[in-house]
C-alpha cells in the first residue's frame, strides 16, 4: 500500500514538472508596469509568483509602459507577441480616460489589438474599465460598453476592472489609505497583492485555454 501511494505521488510530481511552460504577456500602462514600486513588488512579478504557487509553470512578460494609451498599446502589440507568447492580458484605457479620448478611438484601438492577438493564435484576457461621470452620460455609456462588447465578439476572457481587488473592499476610504500610493491612482505592494489575488483565478482560466490550444 505504501509503495502504491509513493508511486502515485511520484507520478503526480512528474506530471507537474513535465507540464509545458506557458508564456503570457501583460500589455498595459503604469498599473501593469508597477509604477512607484520596486520591480519585485509590481503586478507582473507578484502575479507570476502567485500563479507558480498554484502549481503553474508560467513565465510572465511585463509589457506595461507608464502613460501608455490604447494607441500606444496597439503600436507595440505586434512585436510583443513573440512566437513563445501563448496568452495576452490587455489592461489599457485608463490614460485614454485621463485625456478624454473619444471612446470610438479607444474601441478601434482595442479592437485592432484583439485582431492582432487572434491572428497570432494568442488567447486574451481583456481587463475592463469604467469611465467616471464627469464626461457626461453618453461618453460613459459608450466607453463602458467597449470591453464587454469586444470580449464577447472575440470570445475572449473578460475581467471587469484591474482594481477590482481593492474597489470590492467594504471600506473605500480605508482601501485608499491602506493600499494606494500617495497619488491615489497606483496601488502599494500590499494593494497589488490584493489585486493579484482577485484577478489570479481568471488568469488561471487564461492559462487553461492556452494549454488546451497547445494540447498540453
Beta-strand (E) ranges in 51-162?
58-64, 85-91, 123-127, 157-159
The side-by-side arrangement of strands in the sheet containing 157-159 is: 58-64, 22-28, 85-91, 123-127, 157-159
Q: Are 19 and 58 in contact (CB under 8 A)?
A: no
* Range with lowest mean pLDDT among 2-6, 92-96, 176-180, 209-213: 2-6
Residue 74 confidence (pLDDT)? 98
Q: How far apart are CA 207 and CA 54, in angstroms?
A: 12
Kindly report the CATH number that applies to the domain delimited by 19-214.
3.40.50.1110
pLDDT score recorded for residue 187: 96
The pLDDT, as a whole number, for residue 14 is 41
| Element holding 108 (H helix, E strand) | helix 103-119
The catalytic residue positions are 30, 183, 186
Decide which of 28 and 20 is more confident: 28
Q: 21: which DSSP letter?
A: P
- pLDDT tens, position by position, 30-45: 999 999 999 999 999 9
**pLDDT above 70 (res 4):** no
Q: What are the boundaries of each domain within the chain?
A: 19-214
Q: What is the pLDDT of residues 186-210, one digit of tens each?
A: 999 999 999 999 999 999 999 999 9
Confidence (pLDDT) at 157:
98
> What pLDDT, in 10s, does the model give residues 147-170?
999 999 999 999 999 999 999 999
Provide the pLDDT for residue 94: 97
Is-contact 179 139, C-beta < 8 A?
A: no
150-156: long-range contacts (C-beta < 8 A, 24 or more apart)?
Answer: 150/107, 150/110, 150/111, 150/114, 150/126, 151/126, 153/114, 154/114, 154/118, 154/124, 156/114, 156/123, 156/124, 156/125, 156/126
pLDDT of 67 > 70? The answer is yes
Q: Give the span between the Cα atoms of 187 and 12, in whole angstroms.
A: 38
Q: Which residue has the higher pLDDT, 183 or 2?
A: 183
Is residue 114 predicted with pLDDT exceeding 70?
yes
Q: State residue 18's pLDDT score.
A: 56
Amino acid at each position: 500500500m505504501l509503495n502504491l501511494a509513493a508511486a502515485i505521488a511520484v507520478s503526480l510530481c512528474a506530471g507537474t514538472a513535465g507540464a509545458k511552460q506557458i508564456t503570457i504577456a501583460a500589455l498595459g500602462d503604469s498599473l501593469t508596469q508597477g509604477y512607484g514600486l520596486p520591480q519585485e513588488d509590481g503586478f507582473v512579478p507578484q502575479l507570476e509568483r502567485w500563479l507558480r504557487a498554484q502549481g503553474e509553470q508560467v513565465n510572465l512578460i511585463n509589457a506595461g509602459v507608464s502613460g501608455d494609451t490604447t494607441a500606444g498599446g496597439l503600436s507595440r502589440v505586434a512585436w510583443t507577441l513573440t512566437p513563445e507568447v501563448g496568452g495576452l492580458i490587455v489592461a489599457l484605457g485608463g490614460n485614454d480616460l485621463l485625456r478624454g479620448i473619444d471612446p470610438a478611438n479607444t474601441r478601434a484601438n482595442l479592437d485592432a489589438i484583439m485582431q492582432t492577438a487572434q491572428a497570432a493564435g494568442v488567447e486574451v484576457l481583456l481587463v475592463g474599465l469604467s469611465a467616471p461621470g464627469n464626461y457626461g452620460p453618453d461618453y460613459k455609456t459608450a466607453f463602458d460598453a467597449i470591453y464587454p462588447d469586444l470580449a464577447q465578439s472575440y470570445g475572449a476572457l473578460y475581467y471587469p476592472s484591474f482594481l477590482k481587488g481593492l474597489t470590492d473592499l467594504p471600506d473605500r476610504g480605508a482601501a485608499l489609505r491602506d493600499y494606494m500610493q500617495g497619488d491615489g491612482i497606483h496601488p502599494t505592494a500590499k494593494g497589488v497583492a490584493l489585486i493579484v489575488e482577485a484577478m489570479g483565478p481568471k488568469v488561471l482560466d487564461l492559462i487553461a485555454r492556452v494549454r488546451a490550444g497547445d494540447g498540453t
